[in-house]
Chains A and B, each alone.
Chain A
Amino acid sequence: MSTPSTTTYVLRGVRPYGTDPVDVVLADGVVAAIGAPGTVEVPEGAHEVAAQAAAQDGDSSGLVLLPGLVDLHTHLREPGREDAETVFSGTRAAAAGGFTAVHAMANTTPTQDTAGVVEQVYRLGQEAGWVDVHPVGAVTVGLDGEKLAELGAMADSAARVRVFSDDGKCVHDPVLMRRALEYVKAFDGVVAQHAQEPRLTEGAQMNEGVVSAQIGLTGWPAVAEESIIARDVLLAEHVGSRLHVCHLSTAGSVEIIRWAKGRGIDVTAEVTPHHLVLTDELARDYDPVFKVNPPLRTAADVEAVRAGLADGTIDIVATDHAPHPVEDKGCEWSSAAFGMTGLETALSVVQQTMVDTGRMTWADVARVLSQNPARIGRIDATQGRPIAVGEPANLTLVDAGATRAIDGRTQVTASDNTPFGGMELPGRVVATFLRGRATVLDGAVVDTTSSQSNSWNNAALEGAGR
């Protein structure tokens, strides 16, 4: 068998960004040709990708070709919590979900707050070979919110860190936040803030409102998120820095971002798939699978973040994929860990909430799940590229006409804590290509690859230590 990187693929009758069907040839890690069906020259022995899926229902109208998805917010858990996820298992899940790059959040054990740890995670990602892994650096040492971590060292490391976040915790000290915003300007970094005023959320378990009042769980008020976002956009404006707001979840947060952008502040914002569809009503049965931070909000908030995503106020969808072992979820709500998995359902949720509702096109999906996150993470030289001849063949082929039942136990991620278990979601990733190599084919991850066969030909990352 030829090495994967040299396999030539032909994608027949696929629709880039949901537009008219074309045939696409992938060779030597790049998009080699695009043309009307039957018009492109297909090299001898090229692997036909879409033929099977297209033949099944007689037409390929559902086969949408997107640039490989980029997640700006993934918890891979390694090092430290390999019982929940490893870099290998998490990135394999990412590939299954159509991703070709993920940003690995810093709240590992030890924390990703030194060049050594970020390089370890970076190397684990390379060895796994499922997606590009870009470690996020901690803003403060140990995520303690007290002392800046060596941001420069992480930026200069082999991992070339550009996104810094204490995610899981908020950089709540305004002076420290100001310093971080200023400091990362030197290497075009960005601080990704987990906006949670700590005093307003002591012991918080779920969104504060009608449901929390009835079911007796301590509330996580919207204002605890909004007040930090408001402060941070003003700080960013004052020091002329760029700010990224993680997983905003409230209508008020959308308003603040809209206002800040109107004012010219260099802020970007993300929403998670779960905040696009799930509400705090789900807490009523006390199933900790619905416990997440920030918490599921109200239906009005869901509508506001959908509107914000549709009108561009919210720049990206990021998964906040947060795997947890069963014992951290099979317990009292108050004792349970925050977080839910999302890599394998993100695209489906975006399709269901934004595309199938007519609020976004597939080109918009490519923008919020690939181009924008790549740009914010400063990996847009290689990821989030246009689907065009000569571009890196980082691509995702989704059968938008398919539906699938979600079952946490059969997902690729090592953890079961999907909030969508038992639900039917639209869309199915048929194939994922990382620099021309198939990580997913016919809807299944391609396990023949290994670190040895991973061709890491990213020029921008040349010289990275192996």
Chain B
Amino acid sequence: MKHLLTTQGLSKDDAILLLDTSAQMAATQSRENKKLPTLRGRTVVNLFYEDSTRTRISFETAAKRLSADVINFSAKGSSVSKGESLKDTALTLHAMGADAVVVRHWASGAAHQLAHAGWLDAAVLNAGDGMHQHPTQALLDAFTIRRHLVGRVGDDGRGADASVGADLAGLRIAIVGDVLHSRVARSNVYLLHTLGAEVTLVAPPTLVPVGVETWPCRVSYHLDETLEQWQPDAVMMLRVQRERMSGGSGAFFPSPMEYSRKFGFDARRLAVLPDHAIVMHPGPMNRGLEISAAAADHPRSVIVEQVANGVAVRMAALYLLLSGDIASTNSSTSSTSTSTSSSTDERTAL
């Protein structure tokens, strides 16, 4: 694994490997000493062109728990905000010897460009690019779903995570809200589908992209109907940006109240779900708009757990990106290597 840029095209085996590795990482995080020596001496750069303290801290924690050196390079107060190009920043990071670059960018495709434009040879981990993808968010969502709905910790009697190795076959996941602008939705649709789950996107038609028909999911314009008739095992609420409801003739829905009435998740809608169903949100939440406080704080809400799982998933991603890099370089040039299957075709892989 050279880069983690998108969940589209991620193989099922790789997805499960990421989740299984996350499970092992999570197991280490309940110890008194949470730090592992795994990435000692490696440098991870958090390159953030968008403010996201939550995501940055999650990656920073993950890297530090693996003993990597972490450099935070944020757009504010750096040359990035003074108009330095992505290319020049990449060349700088290359010169600094970054082993991995975690990039959050407002532009769709920025992570792909960093990985493929030839500006640097570090592993690139997409921490959210524009409206495109946010793969570790989808992975932590899938991880959370798997732990809750597939296997429970300790089920095998030896303290092992019984969901290890499992996919999400047969599970029904509803993703509700601003699909059009959501990298979380795009990442989840492909990953959940790859893992065997069924996905229904629920949104007003204005917030569903033209071209959605090729996505491996179904689309509904009606939340109540979906909850009652389809009985999802998990409901994932998407954040609705305040700016989507302003803009006069360009607003995507008439009013926050109408949105809440038709697409907000609350205790009444929770009651319609099967007893085992869980409620998810990538955060930060707009309480009272897309989710009510009662639903967000309900015992079946796993929103806080999603945050905790984020660290384990990002540890797993960093581990898989940064281990074996020399071996995979060698194997791609040496036909005699015993590990030819480790050669990375990054174009088709991630």
Contact residues in B for A334 (Cβ distance below 8 Å):
106-109, 130
Contact residues in B for A219 (Cβ distance below 8 Å):
209-211
In the assembled complex, the Cα of A335 lies from the Cα of B80 at a distance in Å of 14
Query: Which of chain B's residues 54-113 have a Cβ closer than 8 Å to chain A?
Result: 85-87, 105-110, 112-113
Contact residues in B for A332 (Cβ distance below 8 Å):
86, 105, 107, 109-110, 113
For B132, give its contact among A208, A216, A285, A331 (CB under 8 Å).
A216
Query: Which of chain A's residues 192-235 have a Cβ closer than 8 Å to chain B?
Result: 199, 202, 205, 208-219, 221
Contact residues in A for B290 (Cβ distance below 8 Å):
none
Contact residues in A for B86 (Cβ distance below 8 Å):
331-332
Contact residues in A for B47 (Cβ distance below 8 Å):
none
Contact indicator A213/B133 (Cβ below 8 Å): no
Min CB distance A157 to B, Å, is 39
Contact indicator A212/B112 (Cβ below 8 Å): no
Contact residues in A for B186 (Cβ distance below 8 Å):
214, 216
Check if A173 is an interface residue, CB within 8 A of chain B.
Answer: no
Instruction: Considering the complex, give the chain A residue whose CB is closest to the CB of B110.
Output: A332
Check if A327 is an interface residue, CB within 8 A of chain B.
Answer: yes
In the assembled complex, the Cα of A327 lies from the Cα of B83 at a distance in Å of 12
Contact residues in B for A205 (Cβ distance below 8 Å):
108
Check if A333 is an interface residue, CB within 8 A of chain B.
Answer: yes
Contact residues in A for B105 (Cβ distance below 8 Å):
332
- Tell me the total A-B contact number using a CB cutoff of 8 A: 78
In the assembled complex, the Cα of A221 lies from the Cα of B209 at a distance in Å of 11
User: With A330-B87, A331-B86, A331-B87 as given contacts, are A213 and B107 in contact (CB-CB < 8 Å)?
Assistant: no
Check if B164 is an interface residue, CB within 8 A of chain A.
Answer: no
Min CB distance A292 to B, Å, is 16
User: With A216-B133, A330-B87 as given contacts, are A211 and B183 in contact (CB-CB < 8 Å)?
Assistant: no
User: With A330-B85, A331-B86, A332-B86 as given contacts, are A286 and B112 in contact (CB-CB < 8 Å)?
Assistant: yes
In the assembled complex, the Cα of A211 lies from the Cα of B87 at a distance in Å of 25
In the assembled complex, the Cα of A334 lies from the Cα of B108 at a distance in Å of 7
Min CB distance B263 to A, Å, is 20
Check if B230 is an interface residue, CB within 8 A of chain A.
Answer: no
For A333, give its contact among B109, B213, B215 (CB under 8 Å).
B109
For A210, give its contact among B8, B112, B183, B213 (CB under 8 Å).
B213
Check if B129 is an interface residue, CB within 8 A of chain A.
Answer: yes
The interface size bin for chain B is: 20 to 34
For B107, give its contact among A210, A212, A285, A335 (CB under 8 Å).
A335
Min CB distance B193 to A, Å, is 13
Query: Which of chain B's residues 176-216 have a Cβ closer than 8 Å to chain A?
Result: 183, 186, 209-215
For A213, give its contact among B110, B116, B214 (CB under 8 Å).
B214
Contact residues in B for A202 (Cβ distance below 8 Å):
250
Min CB distance A400 to B, Å, is 35
The interface size bin for chain A is: 20 to 34
Min CB distance B48 to A, Å, is 14
Contact indicator B130/A213 (Cβ below 8 Å): no
Contact indicator A216/B131 (Cβ below 8 Å): yes
Contact residues in A for B133 (Cβ distance below 8 Å):
216
For B211, give its contact among A210, A285, A331 (CB under 8 Å).
A210
In the assembled complex, the Cα of A212 lies from the Cα of B211 at a distance in Å of 7
Contact residues in B for A327 (Cβ distance below 8 Å):
85
Instruction: Considering the complex, give the chain B residue whose CB is closest to the CB of A217.
Output: B108
Contact indicator B210/A208 (Cβ below 8 Å): yes
In the assembled complex, the Cα of A218 lies from the Cα of B133 at a distance in Å of 14
Contact indicator B210/A216 (Cβ below 8 Å): no
Contact residues in A for B107 (Cβ distance below 8 Å):
332-335
In the assembled complex, the Cα of A210 lies from the Cα of B215 at a distance in Å of 9
Query: Which of chain B's residues 108-134 have a Cβ closer than 8 Å to chain A?
Result: 108-110, 112-113, 116-117, 129-133
Contact residues in B for A209 (Cβ distance below 8 Å):
210-211
In the assembled complex, the Cα of A199 lies from the Cα of B247 at a distance in Å of 12
User: With A331-B85, A332-B86 as given contacts, are A217 and B209 in contact (CB-CB < 8 Å)?
Assistant: no
In the assembled complex, the Cα of A290 lies from the Cα of B132 at a distance in Å of 18
In the assembled complex, the Cα of A286 lies from the Cα of B116 at a distance in Å of 10
In the assembled complex, the Cα of A312 lies from the Cα of B186 at a distance in Å of 42
In the assembled complex, the Cα of A208 lies from the Cα of B87 at a distance in Å of 27
Instruction: Considering the complex, give the chain B residue whose CB is closest to the CB of A222.
Output: B210
In the assembled complex, the Cα of A213 lies from the Cα of B116 at a distance in Å of 21
In the assembled complex, the Cα of A214 lies from the Cα of B132 at a distance in Å of 7
In the assembled complex, the Cα of A335 lies from the Cα of B8 at a distance in Å of 24
| Listed A/B pairs (15) with beta-carbon separation below 8 Å | A199-B250, A210-B211, A213-B211, A213-B214, A216-B130, A216-B132, A216-B133, A217-B109, A219-B209, A285-B112, A330-B85, A334-B107, A334-B108, A334-B109, A334-B130
CB-based closest 10 A-B pairs: A286-B109, A213-B211, A216-B132, A216-B131, A332-B107, A216-B108, A213-B209, A210-B211, A334-B107, A209-B211
Instruction: Give the interface of B toward A (CB within 8 A).
Output: 8, 85-87, 105-110, 112-113, 116-117, 129-133, 183, 186, 209-215, 249-250
Instruction: Give the interface of A toward B (CB within 8 A).
Output: 199, 202, 205, 208-219, 221, 285-286, 327, 330-335
Besides the known contacts A211-B211, A330-B85, 6 further A-B residue pairs in the complex with CB atoms under 8 A apart: A215-B108, A216-B109, A217-B130, A327-B85, A333-B113, A335-B107
